[in-house]
Amino acid sequence: MIASPPPDRMLMRPGGRRVGCAEYGDPNGLPVIALHGTPGSRLMFALADGAARDRGIRIIAPERPGYGASDFHVVHSLAQSADDIGAIADAYGLDRFAIIGVSGGSPYAIAAAAADPDRVPLLALVGPVGPIADLKRSIRISKVHYLLFRVLAASGLGPRSFFRGLRYMVIRTPDTAYRWLMRRVKPSDREILARPQVKASLQAAIREGLKPGIEGAVQDLRLYCAPWGLNLGDVDVPAIVWQGADDTIVPPAAAYALASALANCRLDVIPAAGHYWVFAQFDLILDAVAAALKADAAATSGGAAPE
């Protein structure tokens, strides 16, 4: 098995708890904290390295508790999870920064923006998990999504059995796990996932995330499938939701409802796209991030936006 690269930085939290972080792009660039999906790790943004460097963006990618190099600890709410993001920003000396949340990282991104709105000029949500428990009476989701996000998530043993089986495949028979994934997605996703660079990167990111165990993934499902406890209408941070119309991994209807619920959000629906389109179009996300950060820098300095 190929060894994973060590974290670029290991931050220490109260009690000696460690948080692993990777960096991509321009080390002196515009700061972005990027939150990985479920399951995932700090390696999930490796494919964005070149696009970020070209745009003068510095991506800081922390791992949530229980993933990769980050020690597990119990998080009782999404609001509590924002403490780590604020501490990471402080440790890196960031005054203002954008936040990217991909898939299962999106609820945590929203919680972080809600906790510290004056520091976040853009909240970028890619194929986000929406607040399914809060919206369950007003949206329709597929039978598969119903099973995963409502039935399985509410079961005590269900998530553990699911993620144990997934972890076994990812670590012991990674190609079998990848074929299982390919069967769950639409042709547009299969075309992207079949690219050797995407396959290698995604396999490495998920393997690294699940290497220490399944606690991080189980906690993710517990937190974002329960009521979020966040007043989305009060999250007045400029936000963009990008959602593939043919997503089979997360319910598109929940993402649309999320965009409507946020106070200051633009919804961009990607036609004929599934869940993994971002691995072929990181530049789309980073263009929006760069524009927002440059405009914010100009506004806060009273001068012209930097080139």
pLDDT at 106 over 50: yes
Band (pLDDT 50/70/90 cuts) for residue 1 is very low
Band (pLDDT 50/70/90 cuts) for residue 135 is confident
30-35 and 98-102 beta bridge pairing? parallel
Give the mean pLDDT of 268-279.
97
Tell me what pLDDT residue 301 has: 78
Nearest to 244 by CA among 173, 185, 168: 185
Nearest to 237 by CA among 266, 265, 256: 265
By mean pLDDT, which of 10-24, 63-77, 153-167, 255-269 is the weakest?
153-167
CA distance 59 to 25: 6
Band (pLDDT 50/70/90 cuts) for residue 26 is very high
Contact 234, 113 (CB under 8 A): no
Give the mean pLDDT of 104-111.
98
Q: Which residues neighbour 141 within 8 Å (Cβ) at sequence distance 6 or greater? A: 132, 149, 251, 253, 254
Domains with residue ranges and CATH for the chain: 9-301 (3.40.50.1820)
Tell me what pLDDT residue 132 has: 85
Structure confidence by residue, pLDDT tens digits, 41-87: 999 999 999 999 999 999 999 999 999 999 999 999 999 999 999 99
pTM of the model: 0.94
Cα distances (Å, whole numbers) of residue 191 to 181, 201, 252, 276: 12, 15, 20, 10
